[in-house]
Chains A and B, each alone.
Chain A
């Protein structure tokens, strides 16, 4: 989310200054000072709450630090131990499955609904709000609890399943059904990428579609030849953002499995396992090693996205 805010900000900054430049030279220095003054609260917060702890956790990753006993420098032992840890491998598998399956479905749902909402019709504001609503509440604890109740034995989903003669006996206790349940929960929260897609769709000049109509292009051809390429920067942005998000999923898995990652490790997401190790078992060094491994892997994945983007992301020279 912070990235979207950043984007909004820079868009505003990019506007030409309305006030004519002042002639006094000191004015600029004063503005710079004021700028830093305004930045200071954030900067202090960043150093104290983000950068500092990150450095500390990097150090911890090479120790066997325990919150009560303290710890000693053990070099890369934590990292080598990781690869002999069956639960670590389980957690990687769970998280990768979630990201690889969940993210495309979520983006497809977001794009589909965005295209439907892009047409001018009565009450479109209401529709947009309604489709965005799950994203506002979806990350909350209460929704995870509701979700669990819905998918539990004799929950509403089970009843619907019974009606159609399928899915007996609840999803929550069945390791093969918890992942679909988790993916449904994230797909349902497609509001944020949807809004960004909607903004992207608005940017596509109508003349392109008109020209395509004249040439006799059908809806599918217009979608693949105009919408997708024109939307590719937005698609790229959403893809990167949602992939990173899906690697960070924690709260919903924590609530649904009661913090255990069960049944049978099927909801043992990477961050949940990290939490279990670090705070449940007090192996903070091990957890810090996991955290840094995640940072590196997500960094590499993002880098791959950026490197491959030149082949499929089309930036138009000028907006229109």
Chain B
């Protein structure tokens, strides 16, 4: 056997391999020639949301020949893992969903494109509620545009409540009333197969701790990122649900929730109610397979007030590294302002931030969209929303993850008690929270 032959084939193989590598290297970028622009657009959310976005993108591409939009989406936690990797390599998407809880992390480090130059010049922000728009301004730059507003609500599955034969509390219910309802519902559902519960443990959700602090008159974080609450505050909040936890038929168990993933207890029809942001109603309805979901406000605090607040549901931002800022702004304008797009998106990104879009939105009687809009209107009219959204310092998102994803899990499985929960959260917080 001659040495030539394997050598030649080896060389050929190596060449082929290096060609393949070069192909990979040049593949990622946009095809900017011939007036054709490719934008990357990414979001977090359910399949249901993606269907809406895809329909809107199709419309956008139709009206803007020459712009192609490449879409991708992920689940919330994975989404941020991907974005931080993008940020490191300077490859943030041209347009992406942004959340106030992470905004400062990105804007303080100059990773977002300042959209001021397009304001009123391709990107119409004039009809957006001033307070909401302010959430996207940081360091005198316009780095994010709010899509809409949302507020916390109690999602109710009226069919299940009726099946259990328990009575829903009125809108002026207290936290104690709520706990009693959960206990009653869990008791009534104990013999169902699968077992049905009232609700999950709300103290294990970060935002209800925020809501609790606000109800106590505590603004959770100062503008410099200092915590205004103590270990005792957190412990008291977690222990406030102890009476339910200790009962025989108490909160929806984490163990069951693990098995139902990616669905939850409420969306599987195994929990009667659940606190969540009101715009989740459309995703929840799709998962549950029923449109019959009602919204109730948060329970009332000891002082007789609800102390609710409106939050920018989410925002749209542009990666600072974008090479097509103009087209990206055009896409954001379309997503925020176009009435047809608005009709498709409905209230999935919150009740539209733009007044003109809200006015143009044709909601069917009894639709989910109508329920969200009416709910938010009533929260305003009844004077429940007395507070502004809490300041979310750099690192807020990581603090939430530690609370919800890490410690809540161990707590629900009984591996740690409230004391350890609090101790560990504060010890991690010192590494996660950025103060200045």
Contacts and interface: CB of A to CB of B under 8 A. Distances in A.
Interface of A: 18-19, 34, 38, 41, 67-69, 84, 86-87, 152-153, 169-170, 172-175, 258-260, 262-265, 279-283
A259 B256 contact: no
SS class, residues of chain B in contact with chain A? helix
B409 A262 contact: yes
Nearest to A283: B431
B431 A67 contact: no
User: Main SS of the interface on chain A?
Assistant: loop
B218 interface: no
B87 A152 contact: no
Contact of B410 (A34, A38, A169, A265): A265
Given A152-B259, A173-B258, A265-B409, A281 B415 contact: no
A250 B106 CA distance: 29
Interface residues of B, number: 43
Contacts of A283: 431
B7 A34 contact: yes
A264 B412 CA distance: 8
Interface in B57-85: 77-78, 80-81, 84-85
A174 B17 contact: no
B409 A260 contact: yes
A281 B87 contact: no
B81 A68 contact: no
Interface string B399-416: 001100110011011010
Interface in B375-424: 398, 401-402, 405-406, 409-410, 412-413, 415, 424
Contacts of B11: 38
Given A67-B88, A68-B105, A68-B109, A170 B259 contact: yes
Interface in B7-35: 7, 10-11, 14, 17-18
Given A173-B255, A259-B77, 4 more contacts: A41-B18, A173-B256, A263-B258, A263-B413
A268 B424 CA distance: 17
Contacts of B415: 264-265
B113 to A, nearest CB: 16
Interface of B: 1, 3, 7, 10-11, 14, 17-18, 77-78, 80-81, 84-85, 87-88, 105-106, 109, 111, 254-259, 261-262, 398, 401-402, 405-406, 409-410, 412-413, 415, 424, 427, 431-432, 434
Contacts of A84: 427
Contacts of B18: 41
20 contacts: A19-B3, A38-B10, A38-B11, A38-B14, A67-B88, A68-B105, A170-B259, A172-B258, A173-B256, A173-B258, A173-B259, A258-B261, A263-B258, A263-B413, A264-B410, A264-B415, A279-B84, A279-B85, A280-B77, A282-B84
Given A175-B413, A280-B77, A283-B431, A263 B1 contact: no
Given A86-B424, A172-B258, A280-B401, A264 B409 contact: yes
A16 B410 CA distance: 62
A41 B21 CA distance: 11
Nearest to A170: B259
A38 to B, nearest CB: 6
B14 A41 contact: yes
What are the 9 A-B residue pairs with the smallest beta carbon separation, nearest first?
A264-B413, A173-B258, A67-B88, A173-B259, A153-B259, A173-B255, A67-B84, A263-B258, A279-B81
